[in-house]
Amino acid sequence: MPVTGHTRLFGIVADPIAQVRTPQVVNEHFERQGFDGILVPFHVAPPDLPTFVAAMRAMRNLGGFIVTVPHKTAMVALVDRVEDAGRLTGAINTVRREADGTLTGTMFDGVGFVAGLRAEGLDPRGRRVCMAGAGGAANAIAFALAEAGVARLTIANRTAKKAEELAARVRAAYPGVDVAAGPAVADGHDMLVNATSLGLAEGDPLPFDVSTLTPGAVVAEIIMKPERTPLLAAAEARGCRTHYGRHMLDHQVRLMADFLIGGR
């Protein structure tokens, strides 16, 4: 659709930015809906995030923006209101600019990730899951996996305290689920989830020790570019079922777009 003076503006803020697929996917969604809007990438480093948010408040034709690595947790303190999903996880990935210039944030990563699994025939219910990461996306995914009824959730993170704190919060919300911090290993789990940024850059270490992976296990990513990360390649070499990062975005696009458009 042509961009005019009536076009509603949206963005995605990240650092780095080159890996994001969101502009393509959301703009295709806007076009299918016949909505006069466009979403563009904003490359913003962490020290500049408060300045960026202040500028977004002043743009009257801005509908809002999507938030990704590494800003999901920091963004919580910069908006005016946080909906329940964001309060529970302590992170947000979608911010709507209201008509009065205030900002409302929420989180769709968890519901998008679980919906993507189910759409590919990988219901997490009853599975023993090891998830690497304790940041914004990892928080949302941990709560969503617990809500989906996993049998066990092990949370691994380079900073053990963050993994322990996240595990405690998930246990408090879902006392019937076995949740604990632990090492990033395949042994004893039938699903591995990489909810870190490891794999974005060439030469990154693997987020898991994959030496004990067995055929039939599921290995899932949230990274979208490269699509086939070193972790997924290692899992495929061991006969595992792999699940690509694009599925999480594909299944939350409608939710994010509907939330953003709600501010028009």
184-235 pLDDT tens trace? 999 999 999 999 999 999 999 999 999 999 999 999 999 998 999 999 999 9
Counting Cα atoms < 13 Å in the Cβ hemisphere of 25 gives 18
Tell me the two tokens of residue 202: 């060439």
Q: Per-residue pLDDT tens for 113-167?
A: 999 999 999 999 999 999 999 999 999 999 999 999 999 999 999 999 999 999 9
**Residue 39 pLDDT > 80:** yes
Within this chain, do residues 98 and 15 fall inside the same structural domain, yes or no? yes
Asked whether residue 163 is assigned to any structural domain, the reply reads yes
Within this chain, do residues 136 and 101 fall inside the same structural domain, yes or no? no
Share of the chain above pLDDT 90, in %: 97
Asked whether residue 2 is assigned to any structural domain, the reply reads no
Within this chain, do residues 90 and 138 fall inside the same structural domain, yes or no? no
Which pLDDT does position 263 carry in this prediction? 54
**Residue 181 pLDDT > 80:** yes
* Residue length of the chain: 264
Within this chain, do residues 130 and 224 fall inside the same structural domain, yes or no? yes
Distance of CA 125 to the CA centre of its chain: 20
216/204 Cα distance (integer angstroms): 25
Within this chain, do residues 237 and 124 fall inside the same structural domain, yes or no? yes
Within this chain, do residues 146 and 242 fall inside the same structural domain, yes or no? yes
- CB neighbour list of residue 186: distance below 8 Å, 6 or more residues apart: 130, 192, 208, 209, 210, 211, 212, 213, 214, 217
Within this chain, do residues 176 and 101 fall inside the same structural domain, yes or no? no
Which pLDDT does position 1 carry in this prediction? 76
**Residue 264 pLDDT > 50:** no
pLDDT band at 45, cuts 50/70/90?
very high
- Average of pLDDT values for 46-61? 97
Q: For this structure, is 72 an active site residue?
A: yes
**Is residue 57 left, alpha or beta, with left meaning phi > 0 and alpha meaning psi from -120 to 50?**
alpha
**Residue 16 pLDDT > 50:** yes
Asked whether residue 178 is assigned to any structural domain, the reply reads yes
Asked whether residue 171 is assigned to any structural domain, the reply reads yes
User: What residue type is assigned to position 252 of the chain?
Assistant: Q
Question: Mean pLDDT for the chain?
Answer: 96
Within this chain, do residues 135 and 152 fall inside the same structural domain, yes or no? yes
Give how far Cα 59 sits from Cα of 53, 65, 105, 261, Å.
10, 12, 17, 15
How is the chain split among helix, strand and coil, in percent rounded to 5? 35, 20, 40
Residue 110, φ and ψ in degrees, nearest 5: -65, -50
Asked whether residue 91 is assigned to any structural domain, the reply reads yes
**Residue 60 pLDDT > 60:** yes
Catalytic residue among 72, 161, 162, 225: 72
CATH of the domain at 205: 3.40.50.720
Own/partner pairs, 226-231, CB within 8 angstroms, 24+ separation: 226/199, 229/194, 229/199, 230/199, 230/204, 230/206, 231/194, 231/198, 231/199, 231/206, 231/207
Within this chain, do residues 103 and 179 fall inside the same structural domain, yes or no? no
Within this chain, do residues 20 and 121 fall inside the same structural domain, yes or no? no
Within this chain, do residues 85 and 95 fall inside the same structural domain, yes or no? yes
Residues spanned by the domain of 69: 8-108+249-261
Counting the structural domains of the chain, the total is 2
